C-alpha cells in the first residue's frame, strides 16, 4: 500500500534539491576559477608572463600528443582529420585559458563557461579539491608533477614500441628527436616562467595581506566594542565583519549626562574601498556633530562629504538617533537604513520605527526629516545592519525580521543589552548551523532603566 505524499512536501524537497544543486555548482565554479583569481590582480607584465608560460605548456602538449599518437594514425585514411580535430581542440582550450588571464573582466561575464574551461584544464585537481580542500594550495606542484608524468608515460610508450615489431620499429629520425627536444625545452621553460610568476604573486600577496592586516587593526580601533552604563540607561554595541575589512560601523557620543547620540551605518560592498568609505563617513559624522545641533543638517552635511569623496557606485545607509532622558524621547533621522526596533516594556511587543530617507552618496540635493519617538521606563531600542536578518541557513532561508522580532520579545527580559546580543548571536549561530557570515553584522542595543 503506497502512502500518498502531499504536494507541499514534494515541492519542499524539490526546492531543497534545487538549492543544493545550485550550492554545489557555485562551489565548483569557485574552486575551478581560483586559478584565475591569482592572475586577475597582477600587473600586465606578469599576466603576459603567465600567458607565455601556458602557451609553452600547450605547445609542448601538442608536440607530445603528436609524437605519441601520430605513429598509430599514419597508416589510417582519416589520420589528418583526427589530428586536425585534436589540434583544434587544444588550440580552442588554450585560447579560452589565455584570454581570461589577459582580460580579467571576462571572468565576470559567465561563471559557468569559466567553470567548464577551468575544469577541462584542471579536472583531476578539481575533483581532488572537492575531496581534500587542503590540496588546493599545492595546485602548481600537482600540475607540474602531472606534466612530468605525462612526459614519462609518453616517452615510455615510444621506447617500448620502438623496441618491438610494429609501426614504431624504425629508429626515430632527426625530426622526431628535434620535436622531443623542443617539447622538453617548452615544458621546462613554461614551468620556469610559471614559477617566476607564482613567486612574484606570492610576494605581492604577502605584501597585500600585511597591509590588509594593518588596515584591519586600524578599523578595529575605529569601531570598538562599546559596553557602558549611563545615568538611566545601558548600552552595548558591537560590529562583526564577515571579511577582513568591513563596511559596517556605529558611533556613540555623549552630549550630556542625560543626552547622547547613537549612529549606525552600512557601506555598500565588502572590500578595502568599503572600509575607507566607512572611515570617511565616521569622520564626517564626528566633524558635523561638533558644528551643528540639528540632526537634519548633520545628515545633509555628511551626504555632501560622501558625494565629494567616494565612487559614484558606492553609497552608505545611515541612521542617527539622539536620546534625551529628560523628555523620555528619541529623535531620529534615517538615510536609507533598516528600521529601529523598540521593545515596549508595558505592552511586551516590538515595534518597528522607520521613516523614509535616501541613502548617503546618492543625490546631492537629498532632504532628510527627523522623527520624534517617546519611550517609557524599561523600554529597549535596537539598531542593526542587514547582516543579522539576511543570515541564511543551509536551505538558503533567511533569518528575517519576524524571527528577529520574536527573538527580541523573548530576550528583552535579559539583565542587560550585552546578554541580549550574546543570546541573539547564539540563536543566529544555531539557525545558520555555524556557517560563516555572508555580510557584516552590527548590533547596538539601548535599554532604558526601570527606575
Are 354 and 423 spatial neighbours (Cβ–Cβ below 8 Å)?
no
What pLDDT score was predicted for residue 104? 66
Of the candidates 189, 263, 181, 255, which has an alpha carbon nearest to the alpha carbon of residue 442?
263
Residue identified by cell 625545452 is: 185
Dihedral of the alpha carbons of 396, 402, 405, 411, in degrees to the nearest 10:
-60
What pLDDT score was predicted for residue 125? 44
Instruction: Write the DSSP assignment of 242-291 as a string of letters.
Output: SSSS--EEEEEEEEETTEEEEEEEEESSSSHHHHHHHHHHHHHHHHHHHH
Domain segments of the chain as ranges:
7-210, 223-448
What pLDDT score was predicted for residue 43? 75
String of b and e for 46-55 (b: at least 16 CB within 10 Å)? bbebbbbbbb
What pLDDT score was predicted for residue 447? 94
Distance CA 75, CA 9 (A): 62
Query: What tens-digit pLDDT sequence spans the chain (451 residues)?
Result: 444 445 555 555 555 655 555 555 555 555 545 555 556 667 777 778 777 777 777 777 777 766 766 666 555 555 566 666 666 766 666 666 667 677 766 655 545 555 555 545 544 444 444 444 544 455 555 455 445 555 555 455 444 444 444 444 455 566 666 766 776 677 677 667 766 776 777 776 777 667 667 666 766 676 778 888 888 899 999 988 877 777 888 999 999 889 999 999 999 877 777 888 888 888 899 899 988 889 999 999 999 999 888 777 789 999 999 999 999 999 999 999 999 999 999 988 999 998 888 999 888 888 899 999 999 999 999 999 988 998 888 888 889 999 999 999 999 888 889 999 999 999 998 888 877 777 888 999 999 988 7
Are 159 and 135 spatial neighbours (Cβ–Cβ below 8 Å)?
no
CA distances from 133 to 30, 129, 138, 153, 415 (A): 12, 5, 10, 28, 43
Strands (E) in 153-206, as ranges, are none
Burial class (CB in 10 A: 0-12, 13-18, 19+), 189: middle
**Region of residue 2 (phi > 0: left; psi between -120 and 50: alpha; otherwise: beta):** beta
Distance CA 48, CA 194 (A): 11
- The Cα diameter of the chain in Å comes to 104
The pTM of the full predicted model, rounded to 2 decimals, is: 0.60
- CATH homologous superfamily for the domain 223-448: PPM-type phosphatase domain (3.60.40.10)
Distance CA 242, CA 109 (A): 25
Distance CA 408, CA 109 (A): 42
What pLDDT score was predicted for residue 55? 76
Show Cβ contacts of residue 251 under 8 Å, excluding neighbours closer than 6 positions: 261, 262, 263, 264, 282, 285, 286
What pLDDT score was predicted for residue 392? 86
Are 135 and 48 spatial neighbours (Cβ–Cβ below 8 Å)?
no
Amino acid at each position: 500500500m503506497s502512502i500518498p505524499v502531499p504536494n507541499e512536501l514534494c515541492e519542499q524537497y524539490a526546492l531543497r534539491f534545487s538549492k543544493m544543486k545550485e550550492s554545489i555548482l557555485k562551489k565548483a565554479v569557485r574552486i575551478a576559477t581560483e586559478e584565475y583569481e591569482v592572475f586577475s590582480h597582477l600587473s600586465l607584465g606578469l599576466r603576459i608572463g603567465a600567458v607565455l608560460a601556458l602557451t609553452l605548456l600547450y605547445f609542448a602538449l601538442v608536440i607530445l600528443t603528436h609524437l605519441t599518437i601520430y605513429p598509430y594514425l599514419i597508416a589510417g585514411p582519416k589520420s589528418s582529420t583526427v589530428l586536425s580535430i585534436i589540434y583544434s581542440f587544444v588550440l580552442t582550450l588554450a585560447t579560452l585559458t589565455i584570454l581570461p588571464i589577459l582580460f580579467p573582466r571576462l571572468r565576470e561575464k559567465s561563471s559557468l563557461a569559466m567553470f567548464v574551461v577551468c575544469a577541462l584544464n584542471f579536472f583531476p585537481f578539481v575533483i581532488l579539491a572537492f575531496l581534500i580542500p587542503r590540496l588546493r594550495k599545492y595546485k602548481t606542484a600537482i600540475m607540474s608533477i602531472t606534466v612530468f608524468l605525462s612526459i614519462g608515460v609518453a616517452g615510455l610508450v615510444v621506447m617500448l614500441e620502438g623496441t618491438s615489431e610494429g609501426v614504431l620499429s624504425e629508429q626515430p629520425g632527426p625530426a622526431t628527436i628535434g620535436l622531443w627536444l623542443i617539447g622538453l625545452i617548452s615544458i621546462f621553460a613554461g614551468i620556469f616562467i610559471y614559477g617566476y610568476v607564482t613567486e612574484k604573486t606570492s610576494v605581492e600577496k604577502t605584501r597585500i595581506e600585511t597591509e590588509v592586516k594593518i588596515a584591519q587593526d586600524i578599523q578595529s580601533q575605529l569601531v570598538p566594542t562599546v559596553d557602558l552604563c549611563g545615568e538611566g540607561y545601558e548600552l552595548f554595541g558591537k560590529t562583526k565583519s564577515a571579511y577582513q575589512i568591513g563596511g559596517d560601523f556605529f558611533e556613540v557620543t555623549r552630549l550630556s549626562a542625560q543626552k547622547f547620540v547613537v549612529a549606525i551605518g552600512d557601506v555598500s560592498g565588502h572590500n578595502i574601498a568599503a572600509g575607507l568609505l566607512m572611515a570617511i563617513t565616521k569622520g564626517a559624522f564626528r566633524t558635523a556633530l561638533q558644528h551643528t545641533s540639528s540632526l537634519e543638517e548633520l545628515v545633509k552635511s555628511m551626504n555632501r562629504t560622501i558625494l565629494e569623496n567616494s565612487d559614484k557606485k558606492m553609497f552608505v545607509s545611515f541612521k542617527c538617533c539622539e536620546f534625551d532622558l529628560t523628555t523620555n524621547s528619541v529623535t531620529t533621522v534615517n538615510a536609507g537604513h533598516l528600521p529601529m526596533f523598540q521593545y515596549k516594556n508595558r505592552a511586551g511587543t516590538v515595534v518597528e520605527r522607520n521613516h523614509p530617507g535616501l541613502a548617503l552618496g546618492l543625490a546631492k540635493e537629498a532632504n532628510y526629516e527627523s522623527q520624534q519617538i517617546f519611550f517609557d521606563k524599561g523600554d529597549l531600542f535596537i539598531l542593526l545592519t542587514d547582516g543579522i536578518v539576511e543570515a541564511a541557513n543551509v536551505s538558503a532561508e533567511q533569518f528575517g525580521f519576524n524571527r528577529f522580532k520574536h527573538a527580541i520579545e523573548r530576550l528583552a527580559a535579559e539583565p542587560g543589552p550585552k546578554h541580549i546580543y550574546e543570546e541573539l548571536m547564539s540563536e543566529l549561530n544555531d539557525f545558520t548551523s555555524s556557517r560563516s557570515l555572508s555580510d557584516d553584522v552590527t548590533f547596538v542595543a539601548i535599554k532604558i532603566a526601570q527606575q
